Chains A and B, each alone.
Chain A
């Protein structure tokens, strides 16, 4: 067969298949990514439930000029080109993390990873159960790290990827309900102890052990008291 007669398979059209099979949350990730872009483009006119295709495409800063591309992104039937992801990143900083399938920096991204673990039925290479076990361990480590601003004996450094500002955009001290700290607690904070740890209910602290990663589940089961009520 001559080269000219060979049917040409174009990459972009067939790219999403494996990602959609392997990662059940792909459509959810794409919808969230589109809404990040749309929010930056349309401001107050942004409606997260509608594609608003023409408003998006006609925006001056829109990274694409093709309505059908936007609709394919909106329905989660495509993997955007890296150049488009970079353009979107300039428009909506950190929007690209939504498409990073192993990213666990924020609570929402961690939950998407958890849902992917639960729904893994197919892997292009390797057994689904092996993937599930390996990813579960990673997520457990991340969950422990994510709550370290509350659990560590010393305040978490500003360079940590798990500062509360990085995770949820809020300073940890603003999260607490008023907590009565006794003299020993004040002395402990004075000596460099983590003030946020004192905001945690004692029942939750007793459930957690750094030596047993799964204990983060029992900790979270009791940590609701942190929010009063």
Chain B
């Protein structure tokens, strides 16, 4: 589970890096078809803030992928999130440090975007 969660997050990070390099907005995701849905699911699983209520994007995405297994997909993605942050917690790296590395820096100044990811681990 941990291997899948980390590699799924890595592949989604690569997609994100390609999107950012493309100088286009987030619109390409809408043209990616099922891959776009998987990207949206990965984004909401690993990078989005944790919400107390079920995330509608996650439910909608899961429904598009497999309408008969929406609940199972959501449950598995939540388990993937725990496994992902748990893998780093074992090494003493808190969630906020990983979230800083995964943060959306597009709205920040260059300096802010640069230093947030390189901040000391407290």
Contact = CB atoms under 8 A, between A and B. Distances in A.
A93 interface: no
B121 A28 contact: yes
Interface in A187-229: 203, 214, 216-218, 220-227, 229
Q: Which DSSP category, helix, strand, loop or mixed, fits chain B's interface?
A: helix
B48 interface: no
B50 interface: no
B18 A136 contact: yes
A101 interface: no
A107 B17 contact: no
A151 interface: no
Interface residues on A, range: 35 or more
A227 B76 contact: yes
B7 A132 contact: no
B77 A224 contact: yes
A143 B93 contact: no
B92 A48 contact: yes
Interface string A110-128: 1101110111011000000
B3 interface: yes
B1 A227 contact: yes
B3 A24 contact: no
A48 to B, nearest CB: 3
A154 B35 CA distance: 28
Contact of A114 (B13, B72, B79): B13
B35 A221 contact: yes
Given A28-B101, A133-B21, A224-B76, A111 B113 contact: no
Interface of A: 20-21, 24-28, 31-32, 34-36, 48-49, 75-76, 107-108, 110-111, 113-115, 117-119, 121-122, 129, 132-133, 136, 139-140, 143, 146-147, 167-168, 203, 214, 216-218, 220-227, 229
